[in-house]
Amino acid sequence: MGESCIPTVDLSPCFREDDEDGMKKAKEIIGQACSEYGFFQVVNHGVPLGLMTRAIELSKTFFETLPNEEKLKCVPNSGAPLPAGYNRQPEQSPDKNEYLLMFPPASNLNVYPQNPPHFREVLEQIFAYFTKLGVLIESILSQCLGLPSNFLKEFNHDRSWDFMAGLHYFPATEAENNGITEHEDGNCITFVFQDEAGGLEVRRNGKWIPVIPTRGSLVVNVGDVIQVLSNNNFKSATHRVVRPKSKSRYSYAFFYNLHGDKWVEPLQQFTKDIGEAPKYRGFRYKEYQELRMRNKTHPPSTPEDVIRITHYALNTS
């Protein structure tokens, strides 16, 4: 596995019943990537390339051509775990982007744009494909951790907190190029695809590695929930977005999530059963999400004050 790129996994064996060698290879690559730094790319993943391309095209139309008053018709609903609909990062935020966020298509929290035509239809279709892929990757992660293949699915069976964001990053200026500050995702699994502008970077061994956009591929990263459940056997990926100069960046991120009322703590399979001390104290998932949201709405004055999963870390030395 080269230092200068993240591994690519061919998922086509997962859709065939007679390719045990292909499945074994896929699981080996995913297991190693997750134990080292939590990032990998997948191809032949079942999400149609044409749908991904159409989603990027419609996102560009929405963010680039519609006036602000039209975008603001999609104002977020109150009462949602996150603000569904159109939103823009606060002026004081170091992150420079605007986004359209949605929950599962059946959710009554969603606020869809009326324009461009067919945007809602495409968003709902791609959301459904990502949900199916989430179930597959969840099963593979379970097996890579030595758990029954349906373990994480049974632990995390409520899909109502899953969400997807279509993002537009403004062109970099001479003074700064931050799109999203370095962070880890708080959820279980994240899928990302980006346009040709690129900008996504992952940190490995203290170095930032650009994730070069590859047509039809999806970037997958493990989030904080999996890191805690596995008691640090799998790593939550540290990543950021660097905005390119003189051009906008468009991407989609799908967050395979956990319901807010779920209790999260290291599984006994990685602690009590093997004589290992838990590396985290338990917490209610929505409480952690509220702390992370406060990072965005009230940015801390220093990076050290940003709430991360280390907030729940136990001193096991």
pLDDT of residue 95: 87
pLDDT of residue 2: 45
Measured in residues, the chain has a length of: 317
Q: How many CB atoms lie within 10 A of CB 217?
A: 21
Q: How far apart are CA 234 and CA 141, in angstroms?
A: 9
Q: What is the pLDDT of residues 71-117, one digit of tens each?
A: 988 887 667 778 899 998 877 788 889 999 999 999 999 999 999 99
Going from the C-alpha of 94 to that of each of 166, 224, 225, 282, 303, the distances in angstroms are 19, 22, 25, 30, 11
Q: How far apart are CA 211 and CA 270, in angstroms?
A: 31
Q: How far apart are CA 219 and CA 68, in angstroms?
A: 30
Going from the C-alpha of 266 to that of each of 224, 226, 227, 276, the distances in angstroms are 11, 9, 8, 10
Q: How far apart are CA 281 and CA 46, in angstroms?
A: 37
Could you list the mean pLDDT of each consecutive 10-residue stretch along the chain, which spans 317 residues? 74 89 94 94 96 97 92 79 86 87 94 94 98 97 97 95 96 90 94 93 91 93 98 96 92 96 97 96 95 78 83 84
Q: How far apart are CA 77 and CA 80, in angstroms?
A: 6
Answer yes or no: are the C-beta atoms of 180 and 253 closer than 8 Å. Answer: no
Domains annotated for the chain, with CATH where assigned, are 8-312 (2.60.120.330)
Going from the C-alpha of 308 to that of each of 81, 139, 186, 260, the distances in angstroms are 18, 26, 8, 17
Q: How many CB atoms lie within 10 A of CB 245?
A: 9
**Cis upstream peptide for 116 (omega within 30°):** yes
DSSP H or E segment with residue 285: helix 285-297
pLDDT of residue 1: 42
pLDDT of residue 148: 97
pLDDT of residue 317: 59
Residue 183's SS3 state is strand
Answer yes or no: are the C-beta atoms of 165 and 250 closer than 8 Å. Answer: no
pLDDT of residue 293: 82
Q: How far apart are CA 218 and CA 8, in angstroms?
A: 9
Q: How far apart are CA 153 and CA 65, in angstroms?
A: 41
Q: How far apart are CA 295 and CA 53, in angstroms?
A: 32
Answer yes or no: are the C-beta atoms of 251 and 192 closer than 8 Å. Answer: yes
